[in-house]
Amino acid sequence: VETTDSSGLTRLLGVAFPGEKDRQEWENEQEEARRRDHRRIGQDQELFFFNEVSPGSCFFLPKGAHIYNTLTDFIKSEYRRRGFTEVVTPTLYSTALWERSGHWEHYSENMFTVTSEGSQTYALKPMNCPAHCLMFEQRVRSWRELPLRWADFGALHRNELSGALGGLTRVRRFCQDDAHIFCAPEQEEIVACLDFVKVYRVFGFSFHCLLSTRPTPCLWEPEQWDDAEQVICSSVGERWELNPGDGAFYGPKVRAADICPKHGSEARRLGAVQNVFSVLMRLTVTFSGSFHKISYCFSNSGRLTAY
């Protein structure tokens, strides 16, 4: 590939191989990857398409919408079987909420904003954590209600860079089909969340777990992160590997990744189980009968009905 920049300098990019056999294998993998490209298949089979008028947002045609709804019905049935109830939350929130939760400080560049009513700024939600915390603190909760498991299928928006967009694998508008569990520290909800991740096997995925630890910068003190990481680490039953620094700014997570990438593709990132303790602390989420804040698990068993 040859490119020339504004200064007139020319850059040459190429691929080299130890031998002819390696080159041929690479070319075969590239050709197979193009043949299996879901973007081409989606258009050929009239399932979905993308348009520049709404970058990173998918248009599902009737047959694609049927598949989408079938997957949604499947994952909702799995949520119900595991004791979750469904909630519906708004899409647009005042930046005051994101400032309270810490998202505005650490994630605002990835959020779409809207200015209304003079100087008031709102943002489309990129995730559901703060909204579910608002629902929890809407009234006094008793420890007898815990664990409280809420699933949400609302649309999320993230301002991904245009160069990072890639069909259905990286989008700006999607449904994360995630859930939040409010529980006391002694309630072992993480194990059940990790068991939920096994739902990918229904689709023939073989996966392994990545334990993603604290990034820089992050919220709260190292000791609190140590405790949160230890809780998750002790709960992981599947084979796993350390993924340093890839946690969210508000808590560590265990992410499932496809263990068998094929035909030149990278390992696909699947769902995650996450401890969002710092968001709870900033929003002061508590329950009656205890002066301790809630241990909070985030289950993103999604990307089945995503986008």
**Domain with 245 in it: what CATH number?**
3.30.930.10
Q: Which residue has the higher pLDDT, 190 or 146?
A: 146
Q: CB atoms < 10 A from the CB of 249, how many?
A: 18
Report the pLDDT value the prediction gives residue 257, as an integer from 0 to 100: 58
205 exposed, middle or buried (CB, 10 Å; 0-12, 13-18, 19+)?
Answer: middle
- Range 272-297 average pLDDT: 54
Residue 170 identity (one-letter amino acid): R
**Residue 306 is assigned to a structural domain of this protein:** no
- The count of domains in the chain is 1
- Range 52-73 average pLDDT: 95
Residue 209 pLDDT exceeds 60: yes
- Name the DSSP class of 294: P
Residue 1 pLDDT exceeds 60: no
The dihedral sign for the CA sequence 115, 117, 119, 122:
negative
Residue 106 pLDDT exceeds 90: no
**Residue 108 is assigned to a structural domain of this protein:** yes
Residue 83 pLDDT exceeds 50: yes
On average, the pLDDT of the chain sits at 78
Residue 276 identity (one-letter amino acid): V
Q: 112 lies in which domain range?
A: 69-300
Tell me the per-residue pLDDT of 132-185, one tens digit each, with 9 for 90 and over. Answer: 988 988 888 888 888 889 999 999 999 998 888 888 988 999 988 788 888 877
Residue 98 pLDDT exceeds 70: yes
Residue 282 pLDDT exceeds 60: no
Percent of all residues in the chain with a pLDDT value above 70, rounded to a whole number: 69
Report the pLDDT value the prediction gives residue 300, as an integer from 0 to 100: 45
**Residue 245 is assigned to a structural domain of this protein:** yes
**Residue 40 is assigned to a structural domain of this protein:** no
How many angstroms separate the CA atoms of 102 and 279, rounded? Answer: 7
How many angstroms separate the CA atoms of 236 and 232, rounded? Answer: 6
The dihedral sign for the CA sequence 52, 54, 57, 61:
negative
Residue 12 pLDDT exceeds 70: yes
pTM: 0.75
**Residue 231 is assigned to a structural domain of this protein:** yes
Determine the number of helices (DSSP H) and then strands (DSSP E) in the chain. Answer: 9, 17
How many angstroms separate the CA atoms of 23 and 50, rounded? Answer: 33
Residue 274 pLDDT exceeds 60: yes
Judge whether 270 and 197 are in contact, CB under 8 Å: yes
How many angstroms separate the CA atoms of 250 and 33, rounded? Answer: 36
Report the pLDDT value the prediction gives residue 301, as an integer from 0 to 100: 43
DSSP run (H or E) holding 204 = none
Report the pLDDT value the prediction gives residue 296, as an integer from 0 to 100: 47
Report the pLDDT value the prediction gives residue 177, as an integer from 0 to 100: 79
How many angstroms separate the CA atoms of 301 and 137, rounded? Answer: 24
Q: Which residue has the higher pLDDT, 216 or 3?
A: 216
* Beta-bridge partner residues of 11: 3
**Residue 153 is assigned to a structural domain of this protein:** yes
How many angstroms separate the CA atoms of 108 and 117, rounded? Answer: 20
Residue 175 identity (one-letter amino acid): C
Identify the CA nearest to 256 among candidates 306, 215, 206. Answer: 206
Q: Which residue has the higher pLDDT, 303 or 231?
A: 231
